[in-house]
Amino acid sequence: MESLAISTVYYPAIIERASNGFSVFFPDLPGCTSAGRTASEAAANAEEALAGHLLVSDQHGDQIDEPSDIDAIERDQEIDEVARILVKGERKGKAVRINVTLEEGLLAAIDRVADNRSGFLAEAARRELAARRETAEA
């Protein structure tokens, strides 16, 4: 049985001038957009938009295309393009089997509350990593 893990991907995004600031769209991900008063704010908001899009797509079982090469995306003359950026995201990827050693009481406690040890440990690791990222950004 093959399980899935989280992998880091970088999707190209285009920042364009908009009437009230700047907007961002992802050529590979229709409907995934972001905005901001400044180009920097729009770029920062793009990571949150990508994370949400990838999460919802995964929850609905939608096909998620591989990121395009940023240099291969053709320019649209109707877009007032300000910049092209790569936005970091996380999506499910192929799992890697590892051996882990845990204290037997901890393992028994996990088994009492979880049907799947690997899934439980992976989710706990994701939460801890997210908390540490938030702490590092604060």
Q: What is the per-residue pLDDT across 63-100, written as a single tens digit (0 to 9) for each?
A: 888 899 999 999 999 999 999 999 999 877 666 788 88
Identify the helix (H) or strand (E) that includes residue 125: helix 117-137
Residue 29 sits in a domain whose CATH number is: 3.30.160.250
Please write the tens of the pLDDT for every residue from 2-34: 445 567 899 999 999 999 999 999 999 999 999
Query: What mean pLDDT, rounded, does the chain reach?
Result: 88
Find the domain containing 113 and state its range: 98-138
Same domain for 26 and 77: yes
Domain count, the chain: 2
Same domain for 80 and 116: no
So what's the pLDDT on residue 6? 66
Q: What is the pTM of this model?
A: 0.65
